[in-house]
Structure 1
Amino acid sequence: MQASIPARPPAPAGLRIGHVHLRVSSLERAISFYKDVLGLDLVQRYGPGAAFLSAGGYHHHIGLNTWESLGGTPPPMGHTGLYHTAFVYPERADLGAALRRLDAAGIRLSGAADHGVSEALYLDDPDMNGVELYWDRPREMWPVNAEGQLEMTNRRLDLAALRAA
Protein backbone atom coordinates (compact mmCIF):
# COMPACT_ATOMS: atom_id res chain seq x y z
CA MET A 1 0.00 0.00 0.00
CA GLN A 2 1.33 3.41 -0.96
CA ALA A 3 1.79 5.93 1.84
CA SER A 4 -0.28 9.07 1.51
CA ILE A 5 1.60 12.11 0.34
CA PRO A 6 1.18 15.17 2.57
CA ALA A 7 -0.62 18.11 0.98
CA ARG A 8 1.77 20.67 -0.41
CA PRO A 9 1.37 23.95 -2.24
CA PRO A 10 1.30 23.61 -6.03
CA ALA A 11 4.49 24.03 -8.03
CA PRO A 12 5.13 27.67 -8.96
CA ALA A 13 3.78 28.79 -12.34
CA GLY A 14 7.33 29.55 -13.54
CA LEU A 15 8.57 26.00 -13.00
CA ARG A 16 10.04 24.50 -16.18
CA ILE A 17 12.14 21.55 -17.23
CA GLY A 18 15.70 22.78 -17.59
CA HIS A 19 17.21 19.89 -19.53
CA VAL A 20 17.02 16.23 -20.42
CA HIS A 21 20.04 13.97 -20.12
CA LEU A 22 20.04 10.87 -22.34
CA ARG A 23 22.08 7.69 -22.38
CA VAL A 24 23.16 7.03 -25.96
CA SER A 25 25.13 4.27 -27.65
CA SER A 26 27.29 6.53 -29.85
CA LEU A 27 28.14 10.03 -28.71
CA GLU A 28 29.21 11.21 -32.17
CA ARG A 29 26.03 9.91 -33.84
CA ALA A 30 23.85 11.52 -31.17
CA ILE A 31 25.72 14.84 -31.39
CA SER A 32 25.29 14.81 -35.16
CA PHE A 33 21.53 14.29 -34.86
CA TYR A 34 20.91 16.97 -32.25
CA LYS A 35 23.37 19.44 -33.80
CA ASP A 36 23.13 18.89 -37.54
CA VAL A 37 19.49 17.82 -37.85
CA LEU A 38 17.75 19.65 -35.00
CA GLY A 39 20.11 22.63 -35.10
CA LEU A 40 21.24 22.75 -31.47
CA ASP A 41 24.64 24.20 -30.61
CA LEU A 42 27.32 21.96 -29.12
CA VAL A 43 28.13 23.83 -25.91
CA GLN A 44 30.63 21.49 -24.27
CA ARG A 45 32.14 18.06 -24.42
CA TYR A 46 32.69 16.48 -21.04
CA GLY A 47 35.53 14.04 -21.53
CA PRO A 48 35.16 11.33 -24.17
CA GLY A 49 31.73 10.18 -23.02
CA ALA A 50 29.42 13.18 -22.69
CA ALA A 51 28.31 16.34 -24.44
CA PHE A 52 25.90 19.18 -23.80
CA LEU A 53 23.85 20.97 -26.46
CA SER A 54 21.48 23.93 -26.37
CA ALA A 55 19.65 26.62 -28.30
CA GLY A 56 19.74 30.35 -27.76
CA GLY A 57 22.82 30.45 -25.54
CA TYR A 58 21.35 28.41 -22.67
CA HIS A 59 23.96 26.29 -20.85
CA HIS A 60 22.30 23.06 -22.03
CA HIS A 61 18.93 21.66 -23.03
CA ILE A 62 20.19 18.18 -23.87
CA GLY A 63 22.89 16.20 -22.14
CA LEU A 64 24.19 13.08 -23.90
CA ASN A 65 26.38 10.40 -22.40
CA THR A 66 27.75 6.93 -23.08
CA TRP A 67 28.93 6.30 -19.51
CA GLU A 68 26.77 3.19 -19.09
CA SER A 69 25.47 2.75 -22.62
CA LEU A 70 28.39 2.81 -25.09
CA GLY A 71 27.44 0.43 -27.92
CA GLY A 72 24.18 -0.43 -26.17
CA THR A 73 20.79 -1.11 -27.65
CA PRO A 74 17.52 0.75 -27.06
CA PRO A 75 15.22 -0.65 -24.41
CA PRO A 76 12.66 -3.05 -25.86
CA MET A 77 9.10 -1.88 -26.50
CA GLY A 78 6.83 -2.37 -23.53
CA HIS A 79 9.41 -1.27 -20.97
CA THR A 80 9.36 1.86 -18.87
CA GLY A 81 11.48 4.88 -19.64
CA LEU A 82 11.39 8.18 -21.43
CA TYR A 83 8.51 8.45 -23.93
CA HIS A 84 9.83 11.57 -25.65
CA THR A 85 11.61 14.85 -25.22
CA ALA A 86 9.67 17.84 -26.55
CA PHE A 87 11.21 20.91 -28.16
CA VAL A 88 8.99 24.02 -28.40
CA TYR A 89 9.62 26.24 -31.41
CA PRO A 90 8.75 29.92 -31.03
CA GLU A 91 6.85 30.27 -34.31
CA ARG A 92 5.04 28.00 -36.76
CA ALA A 93 7.52 28.99 -39.47
CA ASP A 94 10.35 27.67 -37.26
CA LEU A 95 8.58 24.31 -36.98
CA GLY A 96 8.13 24.31 -40.77
CA ALA A 97 11.86 24.92 -41.20
CA ALA A 98 12.58 22.03 -38.81
CA LEU A 99 10.33 19.76 -40.88
CA ARG A 100 12.20 20.73 -44.04
CA ARG A 101 15.53 19.89 -42.29
CA LEU A 102 14.14 16.49 -41.28
CA ASP A 103 13.09 15.89 -44.90
CA ALA A 104 16.54 16.87 -46.17
CA ALA A 105 18.22 14.53 -43.66
CA GLY A 106 15.94 11.64 -44.63
CA ILE A 107 14.46 11.45 -41.12
CA ARG A 108 11.12 9.66 -41.12
CA LEU A 109 8.35 10.95 -38.89
CA SER A 110 6.62 8.46 -36.63
CA GLY A 111 3.64 10.80 -36.32
CA ALA A 112 2.28 14.31 -36.69
CA ALA A 113 -0.76 15.89 -35.05
CA ASP A 114 -2.74 19.07 -34.63
CA HIS A 115 -3.55 19.09 -30.92
CA GLY A 116 -5.59 22.31 -31.05
CA VAL A 117 -3.18 23.98 -28.62
CA SER A 118 -0.18 23.04 -30.76
CA GLU A 119 1.05 21.40 -33.93
CA ALA A 120 3.49 18.56 -33.35
CA LEU A 121 5.91 16.32 -35.22
CA TYR A 122 7.06 13.01 -33.72
CA LEU A 123 10.24 11.11 -34.56
CA ASP A 124 13.01 9.08 -32.96
CA ASP A 125 16.64 9.99 -32.45
CA PRO A 126 19.30 7.43 -33.53
CA ASP A 127 18.95 5.60 -30.18
CA MET A 128 15.15 5.38 -30.50
CA ASN A 129 14.56 8.08 -27.90
CA GLY A 130 11.28 9.74 -28.81
CA VAL A 131 11.45 13.37 -29.92
CA GLU A 132 8.55 15.79 -30.31
CA LEU A 133 9.00 19.06 -32.18
CA TYR A 134 6.11 21.51 -31.80
CA TRP A 135 4.91 25.08 -31.59
CA ASP A 136 2.14 26.35 -29.33
CA ARG A 137 -0.71 28.35 -30.77
CA PRO A 138 -1.38 31.61 -28.92
CA ARG A 139 -3.34 30.87 -25.73
CA GLU A 140 -6.40 32.77 -26.97
CA MET A 141 -6.68 30.21 -29.82
CA TRP A 142 -6.68 27.15 -27.54
CA PRO A 143 -9.88 25.10 -27.77
CA VAL A 144 -12.04 25.10 -24.64
CA ASN A 145 -15.36 23.42 -23.87
CA ALA A 146 -18.53 25.06 -22.54
CA GLU A 147 -17.15 24.83 -18.98
CA GLY A 148 -13.99 26.67 -20.01
CA GLN A 149 -11.79 23.56 -19.73
CA LEU A 150 -9.02 22.95 -22.22
CA GLU A 151 -9.89 20.38 -24.90
CA MET A 152 -6.80 19.15 -26.67
CA THR A 153 -7.39 17.33 -29.95
CA ASN A 154 -5.52 14.80 -32.03
CA ARG A 155 -6.37 15.81 -35.59
CA ARG A 156 -4.32 15.12 -38.71
CA LEU A 157 -1.62 17.76 -39.27
CA ASP A 158 -1.36 19.24 -42.76
CA LEU A 159 2.35 18.59 -43.39
CA ALA A 160 2.33 20.25 -46.84
CA ALA A 161 1.02 23.48 -45.33
CA LEU A 162 3.57 23.27 -42.51
CA ARG A 163 6.42 22.73 -44.99
CA ALA A 164 5.28 25.90 -46.80
CA ALA A 165 5.15 27.96 -43.58
Structure 2
Amino acid sequence: MSDTAPYTIPNQTRIGHIHLKVADLDRALAFYRDLLGFSLVAMYGTDAAFISAGGYHHHIGLNTWHSKGAPPAPVRSAGLYHTAILYPTRRDLAVALKRLIDAKYPITGAADHGVSEAIYLNDPDQNGVELYWDRPRDEWPLDADGNIAMVTEPLDLPGLMREL
Protein backbone atom coordinates (compact mmCIF):
# COMPACT_ATOMS: atom_id res chain seq x y z
CA MET A 1 0.00 0.00 0.00
CA SER A 2 1.22 3.48 -0.87
CA ASP A 3 1.65 6.22 1.74
CA THR A 4 0.95 8.94 -0.82
CA ALA A 5 -2.21 10.99 -0.69
CA PRO A 6 -4.90 10.25 -3.26
CA TYR A 7 -4.82 12.34 -6.40
CA THR A 8 -6.82 15.55 -6.27
CA ILE A 9 -7.50 17.72 -9.26
CA PRO A 10 -5.47 20.99 -9.32
CA ASN A 11 -7.02 23.91 -7.41
CA GLN A 12 -6.96 26.13 -10.51
CA THR A 13 -9.16 23.72 -12.51
CA ARG A 14 -12.42 25.25 -13.77
CA ILE A 15 -15.40 23.99 -15.74
CA GLY A 16 -14.71 25.59 -19.10
CA HIS A 17 -17.99 25.27 -20.98
CA ILE A 18 -21.15 23.26 -21.42
CA HIS A 19 -22.71 21.97 -24.59
CA LEU A 20 -26.48 21.54 -24.62
CA LYS A 21 -28.71 19.58 -26.95
CA VAL A 22 -31.68 21.77 -27.87
CA ALA A 23 -34.77 21.19 -30.00
CA ASP A 24 -34.85 24.61 -31.67
CA LEU A 25 -31.64 26.60 -32.09
CA ASP A 26 -33.35 29.95 -32.73
CA ARG A 27 -35.48 29.52 -29.60
CA ALA A 28 -32.40 28.63 -27.53
CA LEU A 29 -30.53 31.67 -28.87
CA ALA A 30 -33.49 33.89 -28.02
CA PHE A 31 -33.12 32.74 -24.41
CA TYR A 32 -29.34 32.58 -23.90
CA ARG A 33 -28.30 35.44 -26.21
CA ASP A 34 -31.28 37.80 -26.29
CA LEU A 35 -32.63 37.37 -22.74
CA LEU A 36 -29.57 36.42 -20.68
CA GLY A 37 -27.19 38.52 -22.78
CA PHE A 38 -24.51 36.08 -23.99
CA SER A 39 -22.75 37.05 -27.23
CA LEU A 40 -22.84 34.87 -30.31
CA VAL A 41 -19.30 33.79 -31.18
CA ALA A 42 -19.88 31.36 -34.03
CA MET A 43 -22.56 29.45 -35.90
CA TYR A 44 -21.92 26.01 -37.39
CA GLY A 45 -24.43 26.05 -40.21
CA THR A 46 -27.99 26.02 -38.91
CA ASP A 47 -27.40 23.25 -36.37
CA ALA A 48 -25.03 24.70 -33.74
CA ALA A 49 -24.08 27.96 -32.08
CA PHE A 50 -21.37 28.94 -29.63
CA ILE A 51 -21.97 31.81 -27.20
CA SER A 52 -19.89 33.47 -24.52
CA ALA A 53 -19.43 36.29 -22.07
CA GLY A 54 -16.47 38.63 -22.35
CA GLY A 55 -15.00 37.34 -25.59
CA TYR A 56 -14.15 33.79 -24.43
CA HIS A 57 -14.27 31.27 -27.30
CA HIS A 58 -17.45 29.80 -25.81
CA HIS A 59 -19.10 29.21 -22.48
CA ILE A 60 -22.16 27.49 -23.93
CA GLY A 61 -22.50 25.38 -27.04
CA LEU A 62 -26.02 24.81 -28.35
CA ASN A 63 -26.76 22.16 -30.96
CA THR A 64 -29.59 20.27 -32.64
CA TRP A 65 -27.39 17.45 -34.00
CA HIS A 66 -29.38 14.73 -32.21
CA SER A 67 -32.30 16.72 -30.81
CA LYS A 68 -33.90 18.88 -33.51
CA GLY A 69 -37.64 19.03 -32.78
CA ALA A 70 -37.29 16.59 -29.87
CA PRO A 71 -39.27 16.89 -26.63
CA PRO A 72 -37.49 17.84 -23.39
CA ALA A 73 -35.67 15.07 -21.53
CA PRO A 74 -37.81 13.44 -18.83
CA VAL A 75 -37.47 15.14 -15.44
CA ARG A 76 -37.15 11.82 -13.61
CA SER A 77 -34.14 10.53 -15.54
CA ALA A 78 -30.36 10.75 -15.34
CA GLY A 79 -28.82 13.81 -16.95
CA LEU A 80 -27.98 17.44 -16.38
CA TYR A 81 -29.75 18.94 -13.35
CA HIS A 82 -28.85 22.53 -14.14
CA THR A 83 -26.26 24.80 -15.66
CA ALA A 84 -24.98 27.36 -13.17
CA ILE A 85 -24.04 30.79 -14.52
CA LEU A 86 -21.85 32.75 -12.10
CA TYR A 87 -22.27 36.53 -12.16
CA PRO A 88 -19.40 38.70 -10.92
CA THR A 89 -21.45 40.86 -8.53
CA ARG A 90 -24.74 40.90 -6.65
CA ARG A 91 -25.82 43.87 -8.75
CA ASP A 92 -25.23 41.87 -11.94
CA LEU A 93 -27.51 39.14 -10.57
CA ALA A 94 -30.13 41.80 -9.80
CA VAL A 95 -29.93 43.08 -13.39
CA ALA A 96 -30.47 39.53 -14.68
CA LEU A 97 -33.46 39.08 -12.36
CA LYS A 98 -34.99 42.36 -13.54
CA ARG A 99 -34.58 41.29 -17.17
CA LEU A 100 -36.41 38.04 -16.39
CA ILE A 101 -39.19 39.88 -14.57
CA ASP A 102 -39.55 42.46 -17.35
CA ALA A 103 -39.76 39.65 -19.94
CA LYS A 104 -42.28 37.81 -17.72
CA TYR A 105 -40.01 34.77 -17.92
CA PRO A 106 -41.00 32.11 -15.35
CA ILE A 107 -38.70 31.68 -12.37
CA THR A 108 -38.84 28.28 -10.65
CA GLY A 109 -37.08 29.24 -7.42
CA ALA A 110 -34.69 31.47 -5.53
CA ALA A 111 -32.39 30.67 -2.61
CA ASP A 112 -29.73 32.05 -0.32
CA HIS A 113 -27.11 29.32 0.10
CA GLY A 114 -24.94 31.25 2.53
CA VAL A 115 -22.01 31.12 0.10
CA SER A 116 -24.13 32.43 -2.77
CA GLU A 117 -27.50 33.80 -3.82
CA ALA A 118 -29.31 32.08 -6.68
CA ILE A 119 -32.25 32.40 -9.04
CA TYR A 120 -33.55 29.21 -10.69
CA LEU A 121 -35.40 28.80 -13.98
CA ASN A 122 -35.62 26.49 -16.98
CA ASP A 123 -34.51 27.27 -20.50
CA PRO A 124 -36.99 26.69 -23.36
CA ASP A 125 -35.91 23.00 -23.54
CA GLN A 126 -36.56 22.59 -19.81
CA ASN A 127 -32.85 22.40 -18.98
CA GLY A 128 -32.38 23.78 -15.48
CA VAL A 129 -30.50 27.08 -15.21
CA GLU A 130 -29.11 28.66 -12.03
CA LEU A 131 -28.11 32.33 -12.12
CA TYR A 132 -26.01 33.19 -9.07
CA TRP A 133 -23.26 35.24 -7.50
CA ASP A 134 -20.80 34.11 -4.84
CA ARG A 135 -20.35 36.07 -1.66
CA PRO A 136 -16.72 36.88 -0.81
CA ARG A 137 -15.05 33.74 0.55
CA ASP A 138 -14.40 35.35 3.95
CA GLU A 139 -18.20 35.67 4.37
CA TRP A 140 -18.97 31.99 3.71
CA PRO A 141 -20.60 30.27 6.70
CA LEU A 142 -18.47 27.64 8.43
CA ASP A 143 -19.36 24.88 10.87
CA ALA A 144 -17.58 24.32 14.20
CA ASP A 145 -14.82 22.35 12.40
CA GLY A 146 -14.20 25.11 9.85
CA ASN A 147 -15.96 23.33 6.96
CA ILE A 148 -18.21 25.22 4.55
CA ALA A 149 -21.77 25.08 5.88
CA MET A 150 -24.03 25.77 2.89
CA VAL A 151 -27.72 26.33 3.57
CA THR A 152 -30.88 26.73 1.53
CA GLU A 153 -32.80 29.70 2.89
CA PRO A 154 -35.27 32.07 1.21
CA LEU A 155 -33.60 34.69 -0.95
CA ASP A 156 -34.29 38.31 -0.02
CA LEU A 157 -35.59 39.31 -3.46
CA PRO A 158 -36.51 42.90 -2.44
CA GLY A 159 -33.01 43.30 -1.02
CA LEU A 160 -31.50 41.95 -4.21
CA MET A 161 -33.57 44.35 -6.31
CA ARG A 162 -32.38 47.27 -4.17
CA GLU A 163 -28.96 46.70 -5.79
CA LEU A 164 -30.42 48.45 -8.83
| TM tier, smaller | over 0.9
- Paired position in structure 2 for 1:61: 59
- Paired position in structure 2 for 1:98: 96
Deviation digits for residues 132-165 of structure 1 (CA, Å, limit 9, x no counterpart): 0000000000000111011001000011111221
Q: How far apart in 2 are the matches of 1:36 and 1:164?
A: 24
- Paired position in structure 2 for 1:83: 81
Aligned with residue 17 of structure 2, among 12, 16, 19 = 19
- Paired position in structure 2 for 1:118: 116
Q: How far apart in 2 are the matches of 1:61 and 1:15?
A: 15
Deviation digits for residues 118-137 of structure 1 (CA, Å, limit 9, x no counterpart): 00000000000000000000
Q: How far apart in 1 are the matches of 2:47 and 2:75?
A: 26
- Paired position in structure 2 for 1:4: none
- AA at the equivalent of 1:117: V
Report whether the alignment pairs 1:48 with 2:46.
yes
Q: CA deviation at 1:8?
A: 4.8
Q: How far apart in 2 are the matches of 1:103 and 1:77?
A: 25
Residue 14 of structure 1 aligns to a residue whose secondary structure is coil
- AA at the equivalent of 2:38: L
Query: How many aligned residue pairs are there?
Result: 159
Q: CA deviation at 1:33?
A: 0.3
Q: 4+ residue stretches of structure 1 with deviation over 6 A? A: none
Q: Sequence identity, in percent? A: 58
Q: How far apart in 2 are the matches of 1:86 and 1:77?
A: 18
Residue 86 of structure 1 aligns to a residue whose secondary structure is strand
Could you state the TM-score of these two structures normalised by the residue count of structure 2?
0.95
Q: How far apart in 2 are the matches of 1:144 and 1:121?
A: 23
Residue 120 of structure 1 aligns to a residue whose secondary structure is strand
Q: How far apart in 2 are the matches of 1:77 and 1:163?
A: 31
Q: How far apart in 2 are the matches of 1:160 and 1:30?
A: 29
Q: How far apart in 1 are the matches of 2:71 and 2:117?
A: 31
Residue 121 of structure 1 aligns to a residue whose secondary structure is strand
- AA at the equivalent of 1:18: G
